[in-house]
Every structure is written in C-alpha cells, then in structure tokens.
Structure 1
Amino acid sequence: MAPRTEAPPLDAILDEMPAGSRELWSHLEQEFPIPPDARGLFPIAENVLELKENIECLANQADEDFSHLIAWAEAVGCIPLESELRQLPALTRIRESSGAFKSPLHGYNGTYPVWCALWWRHQLDPHSSHIPGIYKWLQAHMVVAHILLRRNEVHISKDRKPGWKDSARRIRCWHEARYDWVFDYLAGDISKPEYLIGALDELTEWLNPADHDPRRMGSMQSSDVLGQRHGIPEFKNNIAFAHGLMRPPEFEGGKKLNKNKGKRGPRRIQHYIYPDHSYYQVLSEYGATEVSWGGRMGQIKLNRPDEKIQTELKEAGLDPDEYDDLSNVELDIGYLLGEEDRDISSESEPLPPLSTIFANARAKARHVAMHAQRLSVERRRIRLSEIRLIMSVLEELFHESDRSFRLTALLGAVSLVTGTAYQSVCSMVVLRSLTRHEKVRHLAFNPDHDMWIRSLFYAPIRAPMGQEMSGKQAVEMSPRVVFPDVWGVSDHLKNEFVQELIEFSINPRARIQPFRSKSWRPAAYLRKWDEKIAERMALAGLERRWQKIDNMGDVLPSWFAGLEEGAHLENRLLFDRPDPMAQTHAYYTAFQRAELAGYYANELGGLAERLDLPSRDSNTHALFASKASCVTIDESWVGNDRAPRVEHLKAFMERVRAKAPQVGSPYHRRDMSRLCEQHNWRTLYVGLALALGTGFRSVRTPVTDLTAVHEASQTMLLAEKDQWDGRHTRLVVLPEALVTLVKAYRRHLSQLFLQFPVSFPLLLKVPATKNRDRSRYGSAGFHLDLRRTLFFLAWQERGRWHPEEFTGATLKKHCDAIEPDAWPVANAGRHFLRTYLTHQGVAATAINAQMGHWSYGEEPWTPHSAFDPVQFRNEVRPALDALMEQLGFDGRLP
C-alpha cells in the first residue's frame, strides 16, 4: 500500500480563508463531520457549490436552514487559485505513476463516509446525459439527511452509524458509467424524498437474488448487479427517518430492545415524536407555539405554491397570492395561554392540559377570523370623536405665533389628510403635471389644481403589459393616484412657501421641485411635536398611538378600513398601504382614477359635515376647512393592466359571431370538417361568455359539468381552486342570457353526437390535477363526459378529429387565431369581471363572493357566515345582465 500524502495543518487552511471562517468551520463540524486534516477539501467544497440548488430545494421542503454549509463551501472557494494549498495532492487528488488520478481519502471511508462520498462526481457528461443530474440529487439527499439526523438527535444505532458507511459506499460506486442501469429506476421527481424512497424500494425489490436467473442477465454480471443491493435499504431508511416519513428502529446502545420485556411495553426513543402522539412546546426564540399532529411536526405558517408554479400562474395572468393556504393561524404563546406578560424561558414549566390548550387555540383562531372582517364597530378602528380631538389640537397649535409650531402642525395635518407617513411628507415635492409619469417616490402636490398625487410603483407587482397592448386591447394604466384637497390644508402650504412656488411657476422647464425652504428643519419639527403637541393630545384624552406624529398618517386609513366590509382595495390604492387582504383585489382590478378621487372626496365631505368644519370661503384662517373641488379627471386607470377594454371585447365578440359558420341544412355525415369547425366556434363563443360572466380561473377544465347549473336560482358551483377541503368552492351568479346560452350549447352537444360516427369517443381522459377531481375519482386521471362539458375538436395527421380539453390556454389559442392578443392573457376574463363589477359599483363583499377573493375570516359560505345568498344575487345579477347586453350575448348560439 502506498504511503499517505501528508496534509497541511488545519490552521494553515483557515489562515487563507476569509475572516470568520474559523467559527463557520467549527459550527459546521457539529453537524457535518470533517476529517482533522480536511483531506479532499477543494473537490468536495466545489461539489457542494454545484449541489447548492439541490440542497436548498430539500432544505425548503424540510423547513430547515442549510446556509452555513453553502457559506462554508464559498469560503473555501475564496482561497486563491495560486495558493500552494491548491497544489497539495492531499487536498485535491493523487496522481499515480500511470498518470491516472485517485482519491486521497483512502482509509477515511469508514470514519467519514458522507464526506468521502462527496469527492466523487459522475463520469458521464452532464450536457449529454440526464444521469449526472440524478447523481447530484442522490448526493444532496445524502448530505441533507445526514445533517437532519444529527440536528434532530435521532440516534438509530451507535455502533453502525445509521448505515452511512454502506450508503456512502453505494453512492461512490454509482458514479461509474457502467451502473447507468440503476438510474432507470430513479428517474422521475427525485427532488421529493417520498418519491426517492419509493424508487429505492423498487430497485431493492428488483435486486432480490430470488428474482434473477444468471443465465438471463445478458451482458451484466449477476454478482455485479446483485452486489448493488447492499447499502440501499440503509440509504432509504436514513432519508425516511430524517424527513419524518418513517419511525426509526428502537435501538439503545447498539442492542435492540426486547419489546416483550416489562409491563409498560417497549421503551420509546426520547427525541422522536411517534404518530400516535400529539404535543405542544414553547419556542423560546420566536415566542410562538409549535404543534404536531400524527408525527408530522411543523410550525404553523402560510403554505404557498413553489417558484415554478408561481411563474406559470403569472404567465397565465393568475395571482400566486390567490393560491396561498390561509387556513391556519400563528398564535403567540402568551396570547394563547392568556398570560401575555409571561416570561418565556428555556426551563421546563408546568403548562395547562393539552385539551385546554387546543380548545383555547380554537377560540383564539375564531377571534382572529372575526378581526379579519374589519367591521366598522372594531375598537382598533379610529372613532369620529378621536379624529375631532386630533384636528382640534392641530388647529390650536397652528395659530401659535412661533412659525416652527405652525409648520409642525401643518405637516401633521398634511400627514393626516393624505394618509402619508411624516418622513414622506417632509420629502414632498411640487409637481406641475397630473398626467406625465415622472418618477416621484413620495407625496406630491399640484398647486394649480390643489390635488395630492401619489405614485404607485408596487401595485400590482409584475412586469407591465407591452405598449402595443396597453390602451388597445387592455385598459391604459397610469402609475399615479390623484385625489383632491377637500379640507383646504394645501392653501396654508401655498401661503407658507409662497416664494418657492413663485420661483417654480416662473421656470417653465421645472416639472418637479422639493416643497421646502432654506429654513426647512424636519428634525426640529419632530422635537416640537414631542415637546408640546404630543402632550396636548395626551391631555385631550387620546390613546397613546394617536399622540405620535408617526401615526398621523394612519388616521384616515384606519377610518377607511371600516367603511365597508371587504372593501380593502380603495384604502390600499389611495394610501399605498401594503395590505395582504387587498393584494389579490389589486391584482385583478383596474380602478378609474376619477372614481377613486370621487370616493375619497365624498367620504371626506361626509366627515366634514359630521365634524362641523367651516367652509374655506367663510373662514380663510382655519387649518381644516371644507373646500369644493372642480377638477375634472380624464378617463384613466390605475392598478391592474391585464383587464380588457369593454369596447375591444364588444368588437371582438362581433368578429367571433361574424366568423362563425351559419346554421343551415342538416350536415351530411361526411362533411365532418364543417361540422367540427362550427362546433369549435360555438365552444369558443360559450367559453368566452362563461369566462366573462363567471370569472372562472384559467385552469384545466374549469367547468366540468354544464348540467350543474341551478336554473331556479340561476347559480352554479365552481371549484376550480385546488384546496384539499373544498373551502374555496364558490357559488357564482349567472346572468339570464348565460343560462339560456348554456342550455342551447347542451342541445348542440346532443345533436352533435348524433351526427358523429359511432367510433367517436364519448369520454376524454384528462389528468386529475386538482383536489376537486382527485377527491371525487381517487386516481391520477378521470374521464370527462363530452356530452356535458366544453371541449374543442383538433385535427390529427391521420385524417381524424379528436377531442381537446377546454383550458385557459386553449381558449387563448383559439382567440389568437382570430386576432393576436385579443385575449391578453389566459385569465383575462377574471381580470375583466372584477374590474367591471367594481366600475359598476357592486358591493365589495358581493364581488369577493362572486370571484372567490375572500380572506381568512371572510368566507361567505361557511357555517358561521351570515352572508345572504338572496341579497347576493340581487346585488350582482343586474350588473351581469347589463354586461351580457353590452357585449351582445342574447342567449342564442351563432
């Protein structure tokens, strides 16, 4: 045996790594054992970086953090290429006399098996074969499982080191190209631990010696194949133990426990949560409660689609936030136990019985759900009396002789009436134009029209539509919200900064100018507020939160939040507040700027009457005085830029009707092309009507059964959103013309199948991609009855027509064949309907129920809801009937 090549001391390696690497190395060694001399360091660190995406994917599934492993590999990579360490064979590879290279880890495979297995990479070129990619996943699974087992202190067998020696040996062997047959069993969704465990089970079964006849093994040696069985069960079990998918065997000190010994049954592992055990524990770091049911442990949190699915949803015009699972509530442990001042420590303390905790959690969750409804009677909403007190204190301070007090009160008043934070008010600018799209990141003011201007850069969060579509197919967007100064605060701004405004007005080239003078001192105004105004507000009896200048910008948003239950969008757009309950509404709604400004002006006008504010004409000195606005805002929109224009849709539907083949004499059975062409036109026509009338999501077969229309109430159930418990199934109201159109289409289908050949299928096998279908059929696919659903007919190369599933993508494809981008995105109907109903003044709660856009606590059809279905139909149906009439849908097929 050749002598080992000497490795340098560890200190020599750490000295050439970046600062802080010593602590990082020490931290990693606790979970990932590294040889004292770090043999094979550089190839292993490089391989860890190549496995970065795989490791991060598995870490996200396990809800664990592996950033320190990646940071360690990056730190090793910072050692200069010209360093002498990179030339040492012990840290890289050993060159033999024959010219071949070999691993420097001989003798370490038993003591550091996982470390050694990371030195190897697959022999095949990753650009020409998929096998190296699968090999990388195996290495990533091995590393993640190894760290998870050590991190969770799951001790399986102290003397066998949980089978890592055999597992790592198997991974090392499979890097050779002659074992490519192994990867035929592992190909698939190998990123999922559940899939890999099943694939390894199949591979182990196939490698059973009893199932193989050496005489029929072909070119593969039976000993070579069957020898690969060793280590696979250990590898599979370690992955299952690490991810909580299987109970580890009960070992203690290397000896299996006697399950029949003792009256109390077998002894259980202290650190493992068994499937029949439920528990709760306090997380000292976060102060939250972690709950486990059936051995599947996980902190209560929000579940959302992965990044790949989110990208697909955005391309189809679907809001990824709409698919968040908000069924659970995270509760603070003090709030849950009724002891909000409880000092949480790491020491064990007696806690209430488990049943008491769960009952209390259920009640608290219901309490959170009620808070989410944002009713006008909520105590957290500001009261009219509190607004009156705030305005009276500001009014009093504004008339002080000290100008700094006047400016402080004036800035507080601007923050109040615009719903803008104090820091942004101090950065306010003067803007000459209401239509130009200057990039203003803070509040702006137009002195010519007395209008407040706020730029929206983050609503909605997505790439804008192309210029060729904006304003033609889709509504034209403006990045600004404008609303009038109906309380006259801007008059005092112009008086205080008259010289600056004069300079601005005489400079025609200036479009933006900061609203400040040479004596501008925001920090001094903040001190004045803390010294005097906050004290006055405390004496007036205001809550502590309304005494701070930082909270003046929350006064009107708090008032607007309770004006109408479910109306979250106006508050978000006017005051640019990041509201999770309005996120989906903003994604699908285009708001007319004139209507938004009118909404603001009407509400503040009503507040002025209730507060008995004087008019500006009768009192020019008051800080707050009602003032009429006579500015006309041209038609322009803000928010969603995916909503098609009504005029464009009307013209497009006329083209669809004009192109549809006219109904004449009965077709001859041989005239299949004309028959199928007319069917596709009719399916497109009815599909567009359903998309515009119901706002269904552009998923696979959004409407599986057209006979599910309830004609008496003219409603239909839609369950196209993927939820395991069906709680997002919604009842949609149908306009009368659409109900008649669906009945006509069903008659068309009955006549169509009478003219088809006998060999034409009546059923279409489609994937069951939603829980709606999987829960009903219990399989990965199901058969659509073509006599009661929408479907297209596609031409096959062999001269036959075959049915094609109706999806959002196929709907857009057929629309693009008539006019490119006539249907801007696959989900355009959903964008249009929400925008149209909002423009027609339909109540926000009714729109949310029709679209399925409710949040936690706002569900209209749960047992605890008081939502009235009759009032809901009366609210929505007139707007839908007007829409059908406007677009030319009269219930007849073309």
Structure 2
Amino acid sequence: MGCKFVGIPQEIHNLLKLFAKKTQISLSIDKIKHFCLHRIIAVGKQDPVILLYAFGGYSYQTRVTRFYSQIPISNIVAELNKFWHDVKTTINQIDPDWLLPEGLGTFQEVPPLLTAQPLLIGSKVMPSLAELNKLTGRLASPFSTANKAMVQQSIDALINYHNHYVTYTAMMLLAATGYRAVRNPLPLLSLFLPHYHCMVISDKDDEDFTNTRIVAVGSILAQQLNYYQNHIEKLCNLIIILKPELGEHIHSAIDKLRIALLNSFGENQTLLKSVKNNVKLPGPLFELQMKQDSLQCIAISPKTLKARLKGFKFPINFGRHVLRSYLLKKQLPSELINFQLGHWSTGEAALGDYSSFELNEAINLLTPIIDEMLQEQGWQALPTLLV
C-alpha cells in the first residue's frame, strides 16, 4: 500500500477515457481522489489519514495528523472496504440494483512475509503497549517503597518523593490529554474544570490565545489531579517552615485557583499570561531542587521530564501520538479526535462562534475511551503520602 506501480496510472487513465466515450461522463484520477477525500470529510465517520496511508500523496487535511497517527495495515484495508460499501449504500437509495465494480470493497491485506507481527504504518515515535506498561510501572515504583513518616520528617526524602510524584502526575497529564511537550503545563489549577470533566489547554498559542482549546478529562486523570492538589497543599505547610518564600509561592499557586473563579475574563487572561510565561515562578507542576544550600522551585519542562526518564527512547510528546492512534483504533469520528488533539483546520474550530459542535456530548464520548486507554497502559490515580 502506498507503493507506485509503473504503468497503473496510465492504465487507469485509458480506462476512464474509454468510460467517458461510452457514457459522456468525464472522470480523472484527480477527480476520484478529491471525491474520496471530500466524502470522508463530509460524512465524518472516518479519518482522511486513511487515504493518505493507503495511496500516498498530500492533502491539506492530513498535513499534521499524518505525523501523529499509527495504524495497522489491516485496519486501513477494513476502512477502505467500509468506505466503498458506504458509497454503495448511498447509491442504492436511488438505484437499488447498483453494484460496486469488481475489486472495490474487497481489498485484502498482503500477508506479512517475515514476521507474525501486524504491519504498521504512520508515526515512528509510538511506544508499544509493553513499553508503555514498563514506563508506568517505572514511574509508580518509588511509591511502593516510600515511607510516610520518613517523607514527612526528612527534607531530602520529601524532595525526592515530591519530584517522583509530580513527574508521575505530569506524565499522566500529557498521556491523557494530548498536551504538547511544553514548559509549565497546566499553569493554573483553575484550568481544570472537574464539574465539566474537561480542561483548558494553552500549549501552542500567541498573545490572543488563538489555539487555546478545551479537552476531555477522564476520571483517572481527574482523580490524580485532585490528589495532586491535596499533595501541594500539604507540601506548602511542610516547606514554609524551611523556606518561607518558597512556601508562599506554593500557597500562591493554590490560591490562584480561588482568585481565578472571582476574576473577570480580562483579569484571567492577564493572570494566565503572567503565570504561563513566568520563568522564575512556575505553576503548580514543579520540581524541588537544592542548589547551594538553597531550596528552589523548577518548572516542569520537557528537559526535566526527559532527565527523569533516562533510557526511554521516545520524545516527551509521545502521548499525542499514542492518544490519536488509540482514538483512531476505536473508530471515533475525526471531528472528535481533532477536537481532543487541537488538529482542526481553519473554519473547523469546535468552539468557534458559528460551530454546532456539542461539547458535552463530545466529552461524554471521549472520557470512557481515554480511561480505557490509561488502564491498558497501567495508569492509576495514586494518593499522596503527605495527607
């Protein structure tokens, strides 16, 4: 699939030319390609990346999504067959006796010659499920041996425990939401809206927040974020005795949750900009480090996470690749997938002024599937020992 066979385009051209003479209907390879792409987009049940992986070429709609999707070839074959059978169903509403031309709707996967593993096409930075299980086990392992009394009485043990806990929470956040690998993710706790099972994300933006979006948040991540908020509230009380100004920062990060609920829209925009771009004082996701006998607060970033995952060969934004591929596997409409990943094109913004996108319905469809994915990968909400 995707290979170019010498002579086939010319044979198709000759066939379409003969067809035009008999029927007076002019067709071309490009017209057929455009029909397939535009029908997939209009119907919304399949993702245009299927056509790209099957036949190659370029389309504006897949310029980004092709890099974040990995699909077994067997799934592509099944999707192509489904596409043509749907076309047949539509035509049969007008002409009940019409049949698909021979070969359409009966595509078959070429059996792999050298391996029993399924043939995959697409993203090259997709961990396998076994690698993801290994990663989550590795991230959670420090908590199985942590001692509550030691953590609350020793500053070194407290720093070590907190850094493991924030790394676990941050990596779950990236995996469950499709967050890009950015410095200071979730700059305000108030961006998480547990009552609505969603979160506001600003991970690829200009000053006007053009690409700010809402994403669905499943129950596992929601519980972990609640645990983390409890964690830093208790951490604040323990730290403030040793480092008053640092404890005050942690208290401020928590207090901004209350402030944001009272602010006006304009005040919250200013608040988000000040926190998101503040190098010295990060948001609620931070590491603690001792530097020259001074306890310091360092914002979570791709660099700090990579340092915690030594030996892990995939980039920190692997979660976007895994999430999109999983949603494709579950055959969700491309509109829902692009909503979660922020992959919409101009005029397709789910929350645009003239959009008819139903936010609550989308969240209700996405959250159980995201929870299922996290469970398969081994994620679970872990309460803090500090409470």
Q: TM-score range, shorter-chain basis?
A: 0.7 to 0.9
Q: Is the 8 A contact 1:569 1:582 kept in 2?
A: yes
Output the CA distance in 1 between the equivalents of 2:2 and 2:165.
Answer: 51
> Retained in 1: the 8 A contact 2:181–2:317?
yes
8 Å Cα contact 1:588-1:831 kept in structure 2: yes
- Residues 804 and 570 of structure 1: CA distance in aligned 2, closer, same or farther (over 3 Å): same
Structure 2 counterpart of 1:685, from 168, 175, 178: 168
Once the two structures are TM-superposed, the CA of residue 664 in structure 1 deviates from its matched residue by 2.0
Q: Deviations over 1:730-758 (max 9, x none)?
A: 11111111111111111111111211214
Distance 2:32 2:297 in 1: 61
Alignment equivalent of 2:286, drawn from 791, 795, 799: 791
Partner Cα separation in structure 2 for residue 775 and residue 549 of structure 1: 50
2:347 counterpart letter in structure 1: G
What is the alpha-carbon distance in structure 1 between the residues aligned to residue 182 and residue 99 of structure 2?
Answer: 56
Query: Is this contact kept in 1: 2:205–2:212, CA < 8 A?
Result: no
Structure 1 residues 599 and 779, CA, compared in 2 at 3 Å: closer, same or farther?
closer
User: Matches of 1:838 and 1:626 in 2, distance apart?
Assistant: 20
1:265-344 matches, cutoff 5 A: none
Indicate yes or no: 2:127 matched with 1:644.
Answer: yes
Aligned to 1:749: 232
| Structure 1 residue 724: Cα displacement | 3.1
Structure 1 residue aligned with 2:149: 665
What TM-score do you get using the length of structure 1 for normalisation? Answer: 0.36
User: What does 1:576-587 correspond to in 2, within 5 Å?
Assistant: 576-587=56-67
AA aligned to 2:244 is S
Q: Which amino acid aligns with 1:860?
A: A
Match of 1:697 among 180, 195, 209: 180
1:883 aligns with 2:373: yes
Distance 1:773 1:653, change over 3 A: farther
Distance 1:779 1:648 in 2: 32
Equivalent position amino acid for 1:534 in 2? A
- Secondary structure at 1:793's aligned position in 2? strand
The answer to whether residue 137 in structure 2 is matched with residue 654 in structure 1 is: yes
Counterpart in 1 of 2:7? 427
Q: How much does 1:588 deviate?
A: 1.0
1:128-143 superposed matches below 5 A: none
In the other structure, the counterpart of 1:210 is none
Matched, 1:537 2:23: yes
Q: 1:636 to 1:773 in 2, by over 3 A?
A: farther
Question: Which one of 150, 158, 179 corresponds to residue 675 of structure 1?
Answer: 158
2 CA distance for matches of 1:841 and 1:529? 33
The one-character-per-residue Cα deviations of 1:421-443 (angstroms, maximum 9, x if unpaired) are: xxx66535xxxxxxxxxxxxxx8
Asked if structure 1 preserves the Cα contact closer than 8 Å seen for 2:49 and 2:66, the reply is yes
1:598: Cα distance to partner? Answer: 0.7
Do the aligned partners of residues 706 and 550 (structure 1) sit closer, same or farther apart at CA in structure 2, a change above 3 Å counting? closer
Q: 2:340 is aligned with what amino acid? A: Q
Cα shift at 1:893: 3.4
CA distance in 2 between counterparts of 1:627 and 1:613 reads 16
Which secondary structure state, in structure 2, belongs to the residue aligned with residue 792 of structure 1?
strand
User: Of 67, 75, 93, which aligns to 1:595?
Assistant: 75
- SS of 1:802's equivalent in the other structure is strand
**1:562 counterpart (8, 27, 42):** 42
Q: Secondary structure at the match of 2:124?
A: coil
- Following superposition, the deviation at residue 630 of structure 1 comes to 8.5
Q: CA deviation at 1:554?
A: 4.8
Alignment of 1:154-303 (within 5 A): none
Structure with larger Rg: 1
Following TM superposition, by how much is the alpha carbon of 1:552 offset from its aligned partner in structure 2, in angstroms?
5.1
Evaluate the alpha carbon distance shift between residue 635 and residue 668 of structure 1 in structure 2; reply closer, same or farther with a 3 A threshold: closer
CA contact (8 A) 2:45 2:332 kept: no
Structure 2 Cα separation of the partners of residues 527 and 892 of structure 1:
64
- 2:383 maps to what in 1? 893
Cα distance per residue 1:79-137 (max 9 Å; x no partner)? xxxxxxxxxxxxxxxxxxxxxxxxxxxxxxxxxxxxxxxxxxxxxxxxxxxxxxxxxxx
* Identity %, equivalent residues: 18
Who is 2:264 aligned against?
none
Instruction: Report if the CA contact (8 A) 1:419-1:554 is conserved.
Output: no
Question: Shift of residue 663 of structure 1?
Answer: 3.8
Q: Secondary structure at the match of 1:693?
A: helix
Q: Retained in 2: the 8 A contact 1:843–1:875?
A: no
Q: Report SS of the residue matched to 2:190.
A: helix
Query: Between Structure 1 and Structure 2, how many residues are aligned?
Result: 354
Shift in Å at residue 527 of structure 1?
A: 7.6
Q: Assess if the C-alpha contact under 8 Å between 2:215 and 2:340 holds in 1.
A: yes
Deviation for aligned residue 1:684: 0.8
**Equivalent position of 2:257 in the other structure:** none
How far apart are the structure 1 equivalents of 2:270 and 2:177?
20
Residue 707 of structure 1: CA displacement? Answer: 3.5
- Structure 1 pair 549/707, CA: closer, same or farther in 2 (3 Å)? closer
1:4-38 Cα deviation digits (max 9, x unpaired)? xxxxxxxxxxxxxxxxxxxxxxxxxxxxxxxxxxx
TM-score (norm 2): 0.79
What's the secondary structure of 2:139's corresponding residue?
helix
Q: 1:759 corresponds to which letter in structure 2?
A: P
Distance 1:553 1:806, change over 3 A: closer
Q: Say which of 751, 759, 771 aligns to 2:244.
A: 759
Q: Quote the offset at 1:607 in angstroms.
A: 3.8
* Structure 2 residue 334 is matched with structure 1 residue 870: no
Deviations 1:694-745 (A, max 9, x none): 1111112121012332121111111121223223111111111111111111
CA deviation profile, 1:242-279 (whole Å, cap 9, x unmatched): xxxxxxxxxxxxxxxxxxxxxxxxxxxxxxxxxxxxxx
How far, CA to CA, are the matches of 1:630 and 1:593 in structure 2? Answer: 7
User: How large is the RMSD of aligned CA atoms in angstroms?
Assistant: 3.4
| 1:717 correspondence with 2:193 | no
SS at match of 2:63: helix
Task: Name the CA distance, whole Å, in 2 between partners of 1:840 and 1:748.
Answer: 35
Deviation, structure 1 residue 672: 1.1
The match for 1:814 among 305, 308, 311 is: 308
Q: CA 1:568–1:736 in 2, change beyond 3 Å: closer, same or farther?
A: same
Judging changes above 3 Å, is the alpha-carbon distance between structure 1 residues 536 and 713 closer, same or farther for their aligned structure 2 residues? same
User: Counterparts of 2:274 and 2:105 in 1: how far apart (Å)?
Assistant: 63
> Are residues 1:847 and 2:337 paired?
yes
1:683–1:790 Cα contact (<8 Å) kept: yes
* Structure 1: tracts of 5 or more residues without a match: 1-417, 429-442, 444-521, 616-621, 765-771
| Contact kept in structure 1, 2:188 and 2:272, CA below 8 Å | no
Q: Any conservation in 2 of the 1:700–1:807 contact (CA below 8 Å)?
A: yes
* Distance apart, 1:857 and its partner CA: 1.0
Q: Is the 8 A contact 1:733 1:850 kept in 2?
A: yes
8 Å Cα contact 1:566/1:848 also seen in 2: no
**2:295 alignment counterpart:** 801
Report if aligned partners of 1:614, 1:626 keep a CA contact under 8 Å in 2.
Answer: no
Q: In the alignment, is the contact (CA less than 8 A) between 1:419 and 1:557 conserved in 2? A: no
- Distance in structure 2 (CA, Å) of the matches to 1:711 and 1:645: 30
SS of the counterpart of 1:665?
helix
Q: Which has the higher helix share?
A: 2
Q: Whole-Å Cα distance in 2 between the matches of residues 426 and 790 of structure 1?
A: 55
Question: What CA distance in whole angstroms lies between the structure 1 residues aligned with 2:227 and 2:15?
Answer: 73
Distance 1:664 1:716, change over 3 A: same
Cα distance, 1:773 vs structure 2: 6.9
Residue in 1 aligned with 2:261?
Answer: none
Sort the Cα spacing of 1:739 and 1:663 in 2 relative to 1 into closer, same or farther, 3 A.
Answer: farther
